[in-house]
Amino acid sequence: MPNEKLGLIATATVERYAHNITPCNAWRAAEWSSARCGGPRLTTPPRSGAMRKEHALTGQLRLMAVHAHPDDESSKGAASMAKYVAQGVDVLVATCTGGERGSILNPKLQGDPELEANLHEVRRKEMNAAREILGVKQAWLGFVDSGLPEGDPPPPLPEGCFALEPVEKAAEPLVRLIREFRPHVITTYDENGGYPHPDHIMTHTITMAAFEAAADPEAYPESGEPWQPLKVYYNHGISMARIRALHAYLVEHGHESPYGEWIAGWDEEGRKEREFTTRVQCADWFEVRDRALIAHATQIDPDGPWFRVPLDVQRVVWPTEDYELARSLVGTRLPEDDLFAGITADITV
């Protein structure tokens, strides 16, 4: 795929911000590198996570999770990643921006001028702590947080931010990282970003563009040897189906639910729910997920509503993290219980 064609891939949602688009320079600070690995060998699709684990013993499988900001990796798919790490999968988080335009959401830390002045550095440290808890690798793509525009109509996005980058330019660092890490599976957000934050929407756009371009020797020829990922998933870490199930259980058992207003707002907007294709059983790693999220101290209140539902309840009501298979180059049977269904790998370094 020629580089100039990548600009055509932007979704209609991204075009909402087209009136603000101006060329700008991205800064790149990727802090990860790896040895070159050989390609995948496709065999009969495994039907369970246990079978997939047996296949993995002959060669290390690789998973890349592409996220917009530090903390997104801990709120969306974190328990799945921790599970795969425990099973020997090599997992890399690609973080598109530094989160420098995010607000300090933890009320216990608000009002500290030094913290606010150094938020970018603080969030990098928080990301490193979360990375260690999850046991994953992590790379920064080096783009500048766009912030979340509020108002009707929303104000213009700030010049130089991630969401205003030309797609063909913004995809290059991710293409380079894909060719270095050589993932078999990639996870990201759906075309609406999971929710309509411009950075989340742009993350979807460049991930789908990079999935196509990474294998094309004519695209970004100076960005590494071509590599073809085999599957792309949209993660649904905060799905309304999960929220409804937890809410119903809490109400039925006489407990206060933190989700009533959330559900009412969703119903009022008439938003459609996505269909899951893949449910990864990972309840044993919910505690790890929560510790990783709490490591993002500026972004989460450990006493807030996120943690009001006991883990024992979550494990009973909804013991999975859920995904939507967006693209697959291997045969698989839906529904799945494993992101690597249909894939085995023999690795040479």
Annotated binding-site ranges for Zn(2+)? 69, 72, 200
Query: What gap in Å lies between CA 345 and CA 179, rounded to an integer?
Result: 16
- Check: CB of residue 80 under 8 Å from CB of residue 282: yes
CA within 13 Å, CB half, 275 = 6
In 3D space, the residue among 292, 297, 318 whose CA is nearest the CA of residue 85 turns out to be 292
How many of the other CB atoms lie within 10 Å of CB of 4?
A: 9
In 3D space, the residue among 209, 181, 182, 166 whose CA is nearest the CA of residue 2 turns out to be 209
Q: Are strands 278-281 and 231-235 parallel, antiparallel or unpaired?
A: unpaired
Q: What is the DSSP string of 185-222?
A: EEEE--TT-SS--HHHHHHHHHHHHHHHHTT-TTSSTT
Annotated binding-site members: 69, 72, 200
How many of the other CB atoms lie within 10 Å of CB of 288?
A: 21
How many of the other CB atoms lie within 10 Å of CB of 283?
A: 18
Q: What is the DSSP string of 266-320?
A: HHHHTPPPPPP-EEEE-GGGHHHHHHHHHTSTTT--TTSGGG-S-HHHHHHH--E
Query: What gap in Å lies between CA 20 and CA 286, rounded to an integer?
Result: 40
Q: What is the DSSP string of 324-344?
A: EEEEESS---SSBS-TTTT-B
